[in-house]
Amino acid sequence: MKKTVTRLADGRELLYYDRRDDIVRDAVDRRPLGAVATAAEIRHDPLLGDSVAIASHRQGRTYHPPADECPLCPSRDGRLSEIPDSDYDVVVFENRFPSLSGGTGRCEVVCFTPDHDTSFAGLTDEQAALVLDAWTDRTAELAALPQVEQVFCFENRGAEIGVTLGHPHGQIYAYPFVTPRTALMQRSVADHLAATGRNLFDDTVARELADPVRVVLEGEHWVAFVPYAAHWPYEVHLYPRRRVPDLLALDDAARTEFPQLYLELLRRFDRIFGPDAPPTPYIAAWHQAPFGDGRRAQRDQFALHLELFTIRRTSGKLKFLAGSESGMSVFINDVPPEAAAQRLREIASSR
């Protein structure tokens, strides 16, 4: 992998990640951009103990532009975009409309491919491996920033999820705090360790493998299963068999196998609701251990994993977070996890 670092016209950082070492990236952003003006702040909720990012400037972000005005396509035929070059493999750049900025963290956009009309599931193994390399590199660099405590790589896919740009892309949030979901996991892990002397993540994966009714896909280095208490209609957790705290700690064997299993999972997601259904909307979220001084014990107990889920519960119907979910954080799932796992097994690729 070759990384080339440059700047956009307004000073934001942009990074090209290329599979070939002989690629030269010297295109200049010629757009007349003004300085980025952000108003992001973090407010603490004293009752719930969590934090909320207030980012009013995001009201003006780009919203469902036509394909020929996509800001994530390469700059071609006189049309200038966020990517100055006429082609790319993978690109990462600072979000012009960040939810977090400056002392409140950092937000980046990850463009998986220059092909506007494909999806992550349409990538080759080599392309997906390069995305994994980019996620890993960004995790390392962002974790080194003094204000950052947690790095979150994720993809929102589909208008139903709230995506405003159709080009295949994801995002990376570098939080200045430990997110509530991660903090809850850490408390559960600590309680389990105190009660049993064992690691909760290890026990969870072992339980699924011992009775594989919810196991969807297995490799030599990864295992994917629908969790026992799945919150979403179709939800899969992908774990490396060797517990590691973050993407940086994956060994070469796990990194090599990851694209095969992950791409197969995404392709199965697109087949859940039948051949005539539109592409399945989903969120794919990497859970990594927080960074920072004094977290060694917690990091040693944490397990890197990816959670993939869709808000579509059946053809043409979405799972809405209504009163119980939104008001009380108590999920009600219409699809039994065992049935979801069975469906995801039976639609395996034939190739």
Looking at the structure, tell me whether residues 263 and 293 fall in a common domain. yes
Where do we find the tokens 């105190």?
Answer: 194
Q: Of 124, 142, 175, which marks where a domain is finished?
A: 175
**Residues 129 and 200 reside in one and the same domain:** no
What is the percent of the chain with per-residue pLDDT over 70, rounded to a whole number? 99
Q: Is residue 269 part of a domain?
A: yes
Q: Is residue 10 part of a domain?
A: yes
Q: Other CB atoms closer than 10 Å to residue 200's CB: what's the count?
A: 20
- The H-assigned helical ranges of 96-167 are 125-143
Q: What is the 3-state secondary structure (H, E, C) of 6-73?
A: EECCCCCEEEEEECCCCCCCCCCCCCCCCCCCCCCEEEECCCCCCEEEECHHHHHCCCCCCHHHCCCC
Residues 184, 331 share a domain: yes
- Give the residue-averaged pLDDT of 312-334: 95
Task: Note whether 148 and 164 are same-domain residues.
Answer: yes
Q: Flag whether pLDDT at 133 surpasses 90.
A: yes
What pLDDT was estimated at residue 240? Answer: 98
If you average pLDDT over residues 111-126, what whole number do you get? 98
**In-domain check, residue 171:** yes
Domain of 272 in residue numbering reads as: 180-346
| Mean pLDDT, residues 80-88 | 97
- Pairwise pLDDT comparison (276 vs 37), residue with the higher score: 276
Residues 6+ apart with CB under 8 A from 121: 263, 266, 267, 269, 270
Which residues have a catalytic role annotated? 169
Residue closest to 125 by CA, chosen among 133, 115, 117? 133
320: burial class by Cβ within 10 Å (0-12, 13-18, 19+)? Answer: exposed
Average pLDDT over every residue of 225-245: 98
Residue 292 included in any domain: yes
DSSP 221-273: SEEEE--TT-SSSEEEEEEESS--SSGGG--HHHHHHHHHHHHHHHHHHTTTT
pLDDT recorded at residue 57: 77
Domain match, 185 and 318 both: yes
Cβ atoms 26, 14 nearer than 8 A: no
Three-state secondary structure along 113-130? CCCCCCCHHHCCHHHHHH
Same domain, 130 and 188: no
Q: Is residue 42 a part of any domain in this protein?
A: yes
- Whether 79 is in a domain gets the answer yes
Do both 133 and 277 map to the same domain?
A: no
Q: Are 150 and 176 in contact (CB under 8 A)?
A: no
Same domain, 167 and 88: yes
Residue 323 counted as domain residue: yes
The residue written with tokens 């992001």 in the block is 40
Last residue of a domain, one of 126, 154, 175: 175
Number of domains in the chain: 2
pLDDT of residue 105: 93
**Looking at the structure, do residues 83 and 222 belong to the same domain, yes or no?**
no
What is the predicted pLDDT for the residue at 350? Answer: 65
Q: Are residues 328 and 198 in the same domain?
A: yes
Model confidence band, residue 351 (pLDDT cutoffs 50, 70, 90): low
Confidence of residue 113 (pLDDT cuts 50, 70, 90): very high
CATH number, domain with residue 341: 3.30.428.10
Boundary of a domain, candidates 175, 192, 207: 175
Residues 144 and 262 both lie in one domain: no
Does 65 or 82 have the greater pLDDT score?
Answer: 82
How confident is the model over 13-25, as pLDDT tens digits?
A: 999 999 999 999 9
- Decide if 351 is inside a domain: no
* pLDDT reported for residue 339: 98
The pTM (predicted TM-score) of the whole model is 0.96
For position 63, what pLDDT does the model report?
66
Indicate the average pLDDT of the chain: 95
Do 197 and 167 share a structural domain? no
